[in-house]
Amino acid sequence: MPLIEVRHANSYDPTQRERIIAALTAAYSEASGAPAEKVWVILDEVQRDSWGAGGASLQARDAGGTK
């Protein structure tokens, strides 16, 4: 079974998570021909203070306006 794993630093509500899972499943199924019921999706939500870029956490970058 194919597995799509997405790590992101945002928190989505349950409705948004369902839409993301459905969209990823549909896109993979269409592109690969795999039946949708065989496609697994994991959304891994990382806290912004645990994700860094450019030497600072995303939370610190948010607070300082750094992009």
CB 26, CB 63: distance < 8 Å = no
What is the Cα–Cα distance from 66 to 32, expressed in whole angstroms? Answer: 39
The 10s digit of each residue's pLDDT in 24-51 is 999 999 999 999 999 999 999 999 999 9
Give the pTM: 0.81
Q: Which two tokens mark 9?
A: 């630093």
Q: What is the CATH classification number for the domain harbouring 52?
A: 3.30.429.10
- ∠ CA 38-19-45, nearest 5°, is 90
10: pLDDT confidence band, cut at 50, 70 and 90? confident
Residue range of the domain that includes 45 = 3-64
Measured at the alpha carbon of residue 20, what is the angle toward residues 15 and 21, in degrees to the nearest 5? 100
Domain count for the chain: 1
